[in-house]
Amino acid sequence: MTAIQKLMQPYLEGRAAIIHSGRDLSDLETGENQTLSPLLEHLRSEAFLKHSLVMIEFSKSSGVTYDLHLLNNDEKSNVTKCLTDLGLCNGSSTKNNNDEPEFVRIIRSLLKLSQSKSNTFLRDGVSLKFLVLFNFTEHLTPQLQTGTHSEEQLLSIETVMKLAKSLGVRKYGNYVIFSEARPGTLDSLIYQNVPVVNLPQPAVAEKLEFIKALKVRYPNAKTNAELSDEVIANLCAGTPNRSTEAIYLASDKTGELIQSADVFEKKQSDIISLSEGTLDAIDQSRVKQQNLVGATVNKPMSILMKIAEAIKKGYKNCLRNVMLCGSPSGGKTVMANIAAAKAGVPSFYLNSPKSQYVGESERKAKLMFDLLKQLGGFGIIDEVELIFPLNRNQSSGDSGVTSNLQGQLQGFLSDPSLSGKTVLVGTSNRPEKISTAMLQRWTIIPVLMPLEMDFPLIVLSIALGLNPLLLADVNDAILIESAKRFYKANAAPREIREALIACMAIVPGELGIQHIEFASIDIIPTGNMDASIYADYCALAYCRNNSFLPWWDETQNKPIADFPFPDYLKEVLTDDFRIDQQKLRKAIQDLEPYVNV
């Protein structure tokens, strides 16, 4: 079903009015012979040619406007006379001589037409009916606290309610679309009585058709060799077509090649705008070359890759709400990004929707989750317990805002329709701060500290990421000694990377083995090993699957006996390498007073 068909479907079902939300009607759409025109023109054409509805528009800025180019001269004369008799002239001001709001006057005119015993005709045998599009309806009937509406706003809300419940309007065949630019900002009474039709942004298939039309419209536009139509369509899916058109127009005018960075930059600004800052698109080209290595990351990475592949193919029977838990700087966020990038599915950071204004936090949270449902792919929440309130037992003192956000998150986590479409990946160093009821809606996957034996490979991998031409291998004696020093300094992978970058500001030349050695000596040990151990213990305490443990052989469904367990893990395991819950709880209690994760 096309966007226009979706807007007109309620009319076919006998509805007199709807609320339009989502994709802007000024966005471009492909027409016949690969022409480009706004959705509004497609709506105007379909309303008239298929349903004999004449469209008129209204906004506070432009007043009443209508375009009659589709009509013949007799039809134009009949329409103009009817609208003039009703006091609705093209380009009229927003108020008449009686100081009556024109918004109210339009609705009253529709009610009057529907009650009239003498029909007004468009042409012989065809009654004159209108499709009335109100733009920026939130400016006319805003959601405000009870008692704070102006008299004009109250009058507008009441007339909308009267229209929505009018059997005469429905019988006569007029159709009203209340279009909102900011979702969820109309008065609640209107949402309770008028259905919402949400138009999603163009998906990949629609983008492909649109790109074909753009290439006809802008023949001089050129793309980088790596950017096929399919790649561009995937990059900008879920965003307005106008942004894609702007990229091709710029290339056509300047002669410059369209780069992937250009497409992503537009997508990022669109996602931020559409989500009102609650979502950030993740540039996957920046993480595709990153590589995580080590025995403690292999298992969680393989699980995430299986989830990403399932999302890509639409398999419903896959994990959907995953929380990566473990010590700080263990690569949890990078891991989620790499999985999404390698599987070719979109990924987004979720930001806190909290606002200082009454009702805005709840509205923005709903907007964020609704948009994520449409976009699909990976939603990543870094430090989830800080972004979202996840402890239902903790009093917040914010008049129910926190409880509402928890309810919306809980609903999203429990929505079965998202299986095979969207996965939520949270990261946390402190799962013990999350209430049990919330934790039960997540699958906990431990991401533990790297093992000593993996440090040479980790250091080499980080160094190659900074300088792909580095001449060194994992058996280099200097590299091995440097890795030992990094391990003894309790340096997390992120800290190793920062140490290498810092040393390049001191030691001249491109990053080489001498920089690695210098950085390993230069780095100051944190002395905060207890915090990392505590975070790993908490991750193990809330993991409910042995097969998610790095030392578990899932093919044999038993522990790997020769796994190189570090001492802190041996202290909480049984003789057969299973977690001893009693020892683990005691170890957590002993460390808790001394750590700050």
pLDDT reported for residue 191: 94
pLDDT reported for residue 394: 59
pLDDT reported for residue 358: 78
Query: Which pair of tokens denotes residue 557?
Result: 């469904």
Confidence class for position 87, pLDDT limits 50, 70, 90: confident
The angle formed by the CA atoms of residues 553, 559 and 562, to the nearest 5 degrees, is 100
Query: Which pair of tokens denotes residue 105?
Result: 């006057």
pLDDT reported for residue 131: 94
Q: Residue 348: in which H helix or E strand, if any? A: strand 347-350
Assign 123 to helix, strand or coil. Answer: strand
pLDDT reported for residue 430: 86
Q: Distance between CA 153 and CA 145 in Å, rounded?
A: 12
Region 258-282: what's the mean pLDDT?
91
Taking only the tens place, the pLDDT of each residue in 183-194 is 999 999 999 999
Query: Which pair of tokens denotes residue 347?
Result: 């990924």
State the alpha helices, DSSP H only, in 348-400: 360-375, 384-387
Q: Check residues 155 and 312 and name the one with the higher pLDDT.
A: 155
Region 41-57: what's the mean pLDDT?
95
Find how far residue 597's CA is from the centre of its chain.
Answer: 29
Q: Distance between CA 181 and CA 21 in Å, rounded?
A: 7
Rounded percentage of the chain residues whose pLDDT exceeds 90: 57
The angle formed by the CA atoms of residues 405, 408 and 412, to the nearest 5 degrees, is 140
Taking only the tens place, the pLDDT of each residue in 191-207 is 999 999 999 999 999 99
Q: For the ranges 30-34, 314-318, 339-343, 471-475, which has the lowest average pLDDT?
A: 339-343
Confidence class for position 393, pLDDT limits 50, 70, 90: low
Query: Which pair of tokens denotes residue 74?
Result: 């007799």
Dihedral of CA atoms 334, 337, 339, 341 in degrees, nearest 10, equals: -130
Please say whether the beta carbons of 232 and 211 come within 8 A.
yes
Q: Distance between CA 223 and CA 43 in Å, rounded?
A: 32
Taking only the tens place, the pLDDT of each residue in 208-248 is 999 999 999 999 999 988 889 998 998 889 999 999 999 99
Region 387-411: what's the mean pLDDT?
73
In order of 27, 251, 269, 373, the CA distances from 265 in angstroms are 19, 15, 6, 22
Contacts of 33 (CB under 8 A, 6+ apart): none
pLDDT reported for residue 439: 86
- The pTM of this model reads 0.84
pLDDT reported for residue 399: 61
Contacts of 65 (CB under 8 A, 6+ apart): 56, 57, 58, 90, 91
pLDDT reported for residue 20: 97
pLDDT reported for residue 120: 80
388 has a pLDDT exceeding 90? no
Q: For the ranges 66-80, 83-97, 301-315, 532-546, which has the lowest average pLDDT?
A: 83-97
397 has a pLDDT exceeding 60? no
Confidence class for position 469, pLDDT limits 50, 70, 90: very high
Q: For the ranges 94-98, 277-281, 399-403, which has the lowest average pLDDT?
A: 94-98
pLDDT reported for residue 136: 95
Q: Are strands 63-65 and 53-59 parallel, antiparallel or unpaired?
A: antiparallel
* The residue count for the chain: 597
Assign 306 to helix, strand or coil. Answer: helix
The residue among 445, 433, 437 whose CA lies nearest residue 326 is: 445
Dump the DSSP string for 258-305. Answer: B-HHHHHHHHHHHHHHHTTTSEEE--GGGTTT----SHHHHHHHHHHH
Q: Distance between CA 403 and CA 413 in Å, rounded?
A: 15
pLDDT reported for residue 477: 94
98 has a pLDDT exceeding 60? no
Please say whether the beta carbons of 363 and 405 come within 8 A.
no
94 has a pLDDT exceeding 50? no
pLDDT reported for residue 392: 59
Q: Distance between CA 438 and CA 410 in Å, rounded?
A: 8
Mean pLDDT score across all residues of the chain: 89
Q: For the ranges 71-85, 99-113, 130-144, 466-480, which has the lowest average pLDDT?
A: 99-113
Please say whether the beta carbons of 117 and 110 come within 8 A.
no
Contacts of 23 (CB under 8 A, 6+ apart): 3, 39, 199, 200, 201, 202, 240
Please say whether the beta carbons of 328 and 492 come within 8 A.
yes
Contacts of 60 (CB under 8 A, 6+ apart): 94, 103, 136, 139, 140
Q: Distance between CA 515 and CA 299 in Å, rounded?
A: 31
Q: Distance between CA 271 and CA 294 in Å, rounded?
A: 35
Q: For the ranges 51-55, 129-133, 393-397, 411-415, which has the lowest average pLDDT?
A: 393-397
In order of 324, 439, 446, 573, 590, the CA distances from 543 in angstroms are 10, 10, 7, 14, 20
Assign 400 to helix, strand or coil. Answer: coil
The angle formed by the CA atoms of residues 79, 84 and 86, to the nearest 5 degrees, is 100
Confidence class for position 331, pLDDT limits 50, 70, 90: confident
558 has a pLDDT exceeding 70? yes
Q: Check residues 424 and 113 and name the one with the higher pLDDT.
A: 424
Query: Which pair of tokens denotes residue 49?
Result: 């040619």
The residue among 488, 430, 450, 456 whose CA lies nearest residue 569 is: 450
Q: Distance between CA 162 and CA 175 in Å, rounded?
A: 14
